[in-house]
Structure 1
Amino acid sequence: MSDSASNGAPVGNSLPQDLVEIGRVLGAYGVKGWVKIQPYSADAAALLTARQWWLKAPVPPGKSGALSHPQITRVVSAKKHGSAVVAQLAVIPDRDRAEASKGYTIWVPRASFPKADPDEFYWVDLVGCRVMGVDGEGNSALIGQVMEVSDNGAHGLLHVARAEDDGQGGLALLLNEKGRTQEVLVPFVEAHVHNVDLSKKLLESNWPVDL
């Protein structure tokens, strides 16, 4: 898959340092080369407003690092289609190329995201935040750190890796008996997460620490 200055998309090896993965190509849409995108967030504003996307091919099994350099393309048009987004891209001229792009991931610079409303947050900004909950006595206590945010169809879910303070200002992740990170799912809704301070990378909730 390639693009060139002739279709309005600059090409080069220099990548923005703040690229964020925000969606995945599901396949072709229609017969004119449009593609159907599954956004990773219920709010697809970043997909709809960015004029350029970076497309990254899936890496074949056993080929770590191969075909992993994102390719920039101009977004000719993009619009909501139910829970998905459909788009016409300069780099994809026909249905065959659209079908061949299935599985590609879509990346845009974080700096290009529209400004969020005061009570709204981009999920990418929640990753890495500490999550506080309450212990059995109702006191604030650390649950862990957000590793991922997903959508269960009704609201966001924080995938929190259990952790404890390492005594040096950082966190030490807690592992289970199989050596895997212990995970807690915390609903990202106002009833449970009552304070979000992105400047401190801190979320405060009433979620039980020992659940």
Structure 2
Amino acid sequence: MGKIGKTYGILGWMKIFSFTENQEKIFDYKPWFILKEKKMEKIQPKAWKNYKNNFIFCVKNISDASEAKKLTNLNIFINRNILPKLPHDEYYWNDIISCNVFNTQKKYLGKVINLIRTQYNDIIVIEYLSKKKYKKIIIPFIDQKIIQNVNIKTKTIIVNWNENEQ
């Protein structure tokens, strides 16, 4: 759902990077969990506010920068069952991670490993094995023009893309 950034001030406030479509919505989904020392740990945001086109927040039971700094760069997770149900043809970005990607000629291009949000259009990052080395392809996520079909049940994506386009 998001990622904890660097500390802000001496009272334990931290920057936050929200991966939700409406970035402020991250504060509606609770509880939050972080993966700390290979264990999921629950954290409770106490307060948050807008700050320079981003957000800062503080966590219950953390009141100084040295404690807050231990959370820097940790990802924020939530229980999936608290997300709203989507209509039939819609999906969450997380649903397409690990999807197998094929072009319209049925050639396997690789597996989705990441998504990148940009100002103009989102991008899927695909990884594939070539000559015993992992390589990456980035493809703009432009619905109907490049992304032809996304099937979450079969974990497949069909794209109008040739290897030579990268």
CA spacing shift, 1:85–1:120, aligned 2, 3 Å: farther
Deviation of 1:206 (Å):
0.8
Counterpart residue number, 2:33: 54
Counterpart residue number, 1:207: 161
2:84 matches 1:105: no
Residues 101 and 111 of structure 2 are in contact (CA less than 8 Å); yes or no, is this contact kept in structure 1? yes
Deviation of 1:210 (Å):
4.7
Equivalences, count: 164
> Which ranges of 4 or more aligned residues in structure 1 deviate by more than 6 Å?
none
- Map 1:120-131 to 2 at 5 A: 121-131=91-101
2:140 matches 1:180: no
Pick aligned residue for 2:116 from 134, 138, 150: 150
Alpha-carbon distance in 1 for matches of 2:88, 2:115 = 19
Q: TM-score, normalized by length of structure 1?
A: 0.63
Q: TM-score, normalized by length of structure 2?
A: 0.76
Deviation of 1:197 (Å):
1.8
Residues 25 and 35 of structure 1 are in contact (CA less than 8 Å); yes or no, is this contact kept in structure 2? yes
Deviation of 1:26 (Å):
1.3
RMSD value, Cα: 2.9
Tell me which moved more, 83-92 or 201-210.
83-92
Counterpart residue number, 2:142: 189
> Identity percentage over the alignment?
20
CA spacing shift, 1:97–1:152, aligned 2, 3 Å: same
Alpha-carbon distance in 2 for matches of 1:84, 1:127 = 26
- Unaligned ranges ≥5, structure 2: none
Alpha-carbon distance in 2 for matches of 1:80, 1:73 = 20
- Structure (1 or 2) with the larger CA radius of gyration: 1
- Unaligned ranges ≥5, structure 1: 1-21, 58-66, 163-173
Pick aligned residue for 2:127 from 137, 152, 161: 161
Alpha-carbon distance in 2 for matches of 1:142, 1:43 = 33
Residues 20 and 26 of structure 2 are in contact (CA less than 8 Å); yes or no, is this contact kept in structure 1? no
Instruction: Give the counterpart letter for 1:193 in structure 2.
Output: I
Deviation of 1:106 (Å):
1.8
